[in-house]
């Protein structure tokens, strides 16, 4: 069964905002909030640019593909956007701002890409 979903990191958890989304979730069938922190918040030595996640929570929402699902995903994103703390590569079906994910390391990554792929032959959606 085809599905679609979206997600991002949260800087704080507003239980009332999440409850409001749950009260009107359809046609999405899933809302997942994960507590992060602990080892995820600490980058091990030589971990690279994606060695840790600074946000305390992540949210993912989605459901079976249906005509009303894209609008519902956008609505949920809008309702929770005041708590947005960055995008996640693995949780979003839409284009994301890679600079928001990698922060200060983004320019370093772009430099590596320019040095090793100056003609832009390596292409990826993410």
Q: Is residue 114 part of a domain?
A: no
Eight-class DSSP state of 43: P
Is 90 exceeded by the pLDDT of residue 27?
A: yes
Q: Is residue 44 part of a domain?
A: yes
pLDDT at 107: 86
Q: Is residue 103 part of a domain?
A: no
CATH number of the domain to which 81 belongs = 3.40.462.20
Q: How many domains does the chain have?
A: 1
Q: Is residue 126 part of a domain?
A: no
For 68, the domain range is: 3-94
Residue 39 exposure: Cα atoms within 13 Å on the Cβ side: 2
- The per-residue pLDDT for range 30-43, each reduced to its tens digit, is 999 999 999 988 88
Q: Is residue 18 part of a domain?
A: yes
**pTM higher than 0.85:** no
Q: Is residue 84 part of a domain?
A: yes
């Amino acid at each position: 069964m085809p599905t679609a979903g979206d997600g991002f990191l949260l800087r704080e958890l507003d239980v009332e905002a999440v409850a409001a989304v749950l009260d009107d979730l359809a046609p999405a069938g899933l809302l997942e909030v994960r507590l992060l922190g602990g080892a995820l918040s600490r980058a091990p030595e030589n971990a690279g640019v994606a060695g840790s996640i600074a946000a305390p929570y992540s949210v993912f929402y989605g459901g079976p593909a249906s005509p009303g699902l894209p609008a519902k995903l956008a609505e949920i994103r809008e309702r929770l956007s005041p708590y947005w703390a960055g995008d996640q590569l693995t949780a979003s079906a839409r284009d994301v701002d890679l600079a928001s994910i990698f922060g200060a390391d983004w320019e370093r990554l772009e430099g590596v890409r320019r040095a090793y792929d100056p003609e832009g032959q390596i292409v990826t959606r993410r």
